[in-house]
């Protein structure tokens, strides 16, 4: 297994290379770099309760029922507080302007006033009432608290994704949303050899193959209503667009495997495409912390 120091070094190299290739995204990459690095470290190393994945039915997966629809991937015993407090230091490093608010969140978590486990228990519908409580009673920004919780969720879901897919082995999946957590992709990768398209989920880190002639979001299969938008002189970067659902998906073309890649870093580095497509009236297939630009 790669050491934490080695993982950090590799992530630093990936981020530096992304900044060199897309300098216009440098501020975002520098802001999210420490966060993504810490998330990867925590997902790989933090102690978490064991889960029983024997209930996952491959036939249901083949029918489009994701893992999270078949079982709860969050446990009340998950170390939510520990993960959040570790991530707060990384967020402060990348986003120092949020330091005061993050210190307030840290204090509330340590005093037991901001109960993260309850949020994940209520995630099926009661989270709006909790956000009102945060703003009215705890005097914290619901958007900042939700942002932190989304970062915590990624750590937990990434671990559960690795564990569940290891247990499952090879399985069939033909949907445009993630087979593990059910979210739509944040970025696609098209291999130079064979032209295969792979979708990436920023919520749990899962990658899966999906046909190039169908829109992942609305499943429209009509070549003439789908297109790829390119920026001049950037032939390895594009945005897949569907004129039926008005969604887009930033897309990267990979020529060889010379360098290590982190798909979330790649998605952030293509934020210029997000800006262009949103100005044209399209919406991303999934909302990420870095691609909401209005």
Q: What is the mean pLDDT of residues 254-276?
A: 84
Q: Does pLDDT of 122 surpass 80?
A: no
Give the 3-state DSSP-derived string for the chain, with helices as H, strands as E and coil as C: CCCHHHHHHHHHHHHHHHHHHCHHHHHHHHHHHHHHHHHHHHHHHCCCCCCCCCCCCHHHHHCCCCHHHHCCCCCCCCCHHHHHHHHHHHHHHHCHHHHHHHHHHHHHHHCCCCCHHHHHHCCCCCHHHHHHHHHHCCCCCHHHHHHHHHHHHHHHHHHHHHHHHHHHCCCCCCCCCCCCCCCCCCEEEEECCCCCEEEECCCCCCEEECCCCCCCCCCCCCHHHEEEEECCCCCCEEEEEECCCCEEEEEEEECCCCCCCCHHHHHHHCHHHHHHHHHCCCEECCCCCCCCCC
The pLDDT value recorded for residue 225 is 59
The pLDDT value recorded for residue 142 is 85
Residue linked to tokens 């998605």 = 267
Q: In terms of pLDDT, which residue wins out, 111 or 134?
A: 111
More confident residue, 194 or 13: 13
Q: How far apart are CA 185 and CA 204, in angstroms?
A: 10
- How many other CB atoms are there within 10 angstroms of residue 145's CB atom? 24
Confidence of residue 67 (pLDDT cuts 50, 70, 90): very high
**Mean pLDDT of the chain, nearest integer:** 90
Give residue 231's pLDDT.
Answer: 81
Cα–Cα distance, 201 to 187 (Å, whole number): 7
Percent of the chain residues past pLDDT 70, beyond the cut: 91
Would you place residue 74 in the very low, low, confident or very high pLDDT band (cuts 50, 70, 90)?
very high
Task: Determine the pLDDT at residue 139.
Answer: 84
Residue recorded with tokens 């082995």: 169
pLDDT level of residue 190 (50, 70, 90 thresholds):
very high
pLDDT at 1: 45
What value does the mean pLDDT take over residues 77-86?
Answer: 97
Q: What pLDDT score does 7 carry? A: 65
pLDDT digits (tens, 9 = 90+) for 126-137: 567 777 778 777
Asked if pLDDT for residue 62 goes beyond 70, the answer is yes
Is residue 120 scored above 90 in pLDDT?
no
Mean pLDDT of 20-32: 93
For residue 106, what pLDDT is reported? 95
Q: What is the pTM of this model?
A: 0.92
pLDDT at 11 over 50: yes
Average pLDDT over residues 144-159: 95
pLDDT of residue 121: 81
Structure confidence at residue 127 (pLDDT): 65
Model confidence pLDDT, tens digit, residues 209-259: 999 889 999 998 876 656 888 887 777 899 999 999 999 999 998 765 656
pLDDT at residue 125 is higher than 60 = no
Rounded Cα distance, 77 and 132, in Å: 25
């Amino acid at each position: 297994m790669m050491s934490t120091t080695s993982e950090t070094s590799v992530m630093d190299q990936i981020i530096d290379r992304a900044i060199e290739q897309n300098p216009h995204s440098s501020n975002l990459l520098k802001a999210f770099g420490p966060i993504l690095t810490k998330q990867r470290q925590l997902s790989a190393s933090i102690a978490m309760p064991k889960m029983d994945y024997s209930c996952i039915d491959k036939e249901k997966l083949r029918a489009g029922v994701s893992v999270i629809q078949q079982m709860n991937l969050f446990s009340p015993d998950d170390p939510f507080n520990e993960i959040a407090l570790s991530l707060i230091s990384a967020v402060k490093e990348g986003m120092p302007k949020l330091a005061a608010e993050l210190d307030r969140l840290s204090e509330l978590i340590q005093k037991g006033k901001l109960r993260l486990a309850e949020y994940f228990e209520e995630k099926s519908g009661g989270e709006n009432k909790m956000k009102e409580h945060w703003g009215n009673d705890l005097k914290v920004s619901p958007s900042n608290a939700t942002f932190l919780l989304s970062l915590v969720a990624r750590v937990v879901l990434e671990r559960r994704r690795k564990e569940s897919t290891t247990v499952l082995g090879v399985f069939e999946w033909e949907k445009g949303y993630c087979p593990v957590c059910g979210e739509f992709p944040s970025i696609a990768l098209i291999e130079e050899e064979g032209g295969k398209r792979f979708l990436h989920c920023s919520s749990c880190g899962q990658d899966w193959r999906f046909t190039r002639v169908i829109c992942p979001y609305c499943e429209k299969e009509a070549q003439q209503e789908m297109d790829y938008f390119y920026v001049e002189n950037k032939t390895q970067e594009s945005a897949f667009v569907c004129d039926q659902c008005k969604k887009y998906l930033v897309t990267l073309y990979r020529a060889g495997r010379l360098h290590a890649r982190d798909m979330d870093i790649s998605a952030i580095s293509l934020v210029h495409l997000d800006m262009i497509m949103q100005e044209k009236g399209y919406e991303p297939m999934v909302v990420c912390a870095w691609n909401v630009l209005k």
